[in-house]
Structure 1
Amino acid sequence: MTSPAALDPAYELTTERERIDVARVHRLLLDHAYWAAGRSREQQVAIVAVSRNYGLLERATGRQVGYARIVTDSVTFAWLADVVVDPAHRSRGLGAALVDGILADLEPLGLKRVLLKASPEGASLYVRAGFEALEDPEAWMVRRRR
């Protein structure tokens, strides 16, 4: 995958599943993503297996410092999920570069919409990337596991 122009050259963005460190992703999410609380390692393995994955790697070490994934039908719809950057690597524009790289990768698909549930601390990142609040959020519904 071609890295976005704004990505610090000390890092690289990959879509190669074999380069995704699932154990590291699981730890990053458990430690730094409230929405992933309680997710098991087995669940994370299954999630990576069925998602379009994006890893942010430190070039010098190959260590995974960021992750995000897309769930999509590859025709009309995608859901951006699990965007996380190791706190030790934040404030370098990596989150923005990760999201920009994902959106650039999806562009050839011509998707009608890409949705996400923005965390309060990440909302400005997504607005900068062109996301906006739903026009009619009351029309959206959810069915939760009981």
Structure 2
Amino acid sequence: MDRSDIDVRDAVEGDRLAQLMELFSSEWWTAERSPDDVTAMLTASDLVFALIQRSTDRLVGFARVLTDGVYLAVVLDVIVASHARGSGVGRMLLDAVVNDPRLAQVRSIELVCQPELLPFYRRWGFTEEVGRSQLMRRSGDPLLTSPRRQQ
């Protein structure tokens, strides 16, 4: 995929909601989301990154960030369309996130990922060395609390 054919946008326009739902349907942690909930999520997210392939007018990548703008930013829902993986679109998406001027002064940018993606995220300085901190979760969603089988 030609990365010069990709636009980075800071919103998912209403007419692209179906495309975002299609991306979400391809991943185990987002497959059960409803359009109403995703619309509310987009509104409440501090930063949204949408990668649009101009030649097809399709959403090929997505990420969002929650942040206080000073101490912490949490990157969530990083997804690249399956046909675009391995083409540099994921790198383009993460470059847009970590180089966004609205995050320049944030002391810590964090994310949660599956073990097989650790090498990918290390390219931007992410590390699993987080001192004595440990992720904890309170959730009624069994997808997020049960051991995940590999696909």
TM above 0.5, yes or no, is yes
- How far residue 37 of structure 1 moved from its aligned partner, in angstroms, is 3.1
| In 2: Cα distance, 1:46 partner to 1:62 partner | 24
- Alignment pair present for 1:49 and 2:53: no
Structure 1 residues 130 and 29 mapped into 2: Cα distance closer, same or farther (>3 Å)?
same
Provide the identity percentage.
28
Pairing 1:28-43 to 2, within 5 Å after superposition: 28-31=23-26, 33-43=27-37
Find out whether 1:90 has 2:85 as its counterpart: yes
Give the deviation of 1:109 after TM superposition. Answer: 4.0
Return structure 1 stretches of 4+ with deviation > 6 angstroms. none
CA RMSD of aligned residues (A): 2.2
Q: Structure 1 residues 69 and 94, CA, compared in 2 at 3 Å: closer, same or farther?
A: same
Structure 2: tracts of 5 or more residues without a match: 142-151
* Structure 1: unaligned runs, 5 residues or longer: 1-6
Q: Provide TM-score, normalisation by structure 2.
A: 0.80
Which structure's residues are more often helix, by fraction?
1
Structure 2 residue corresponding to 1:144, chosen from 135, 139, 142: 139
Cα distance in 1 between the residues matched to 2:17 and 2:127: 30
Aligned length: 138
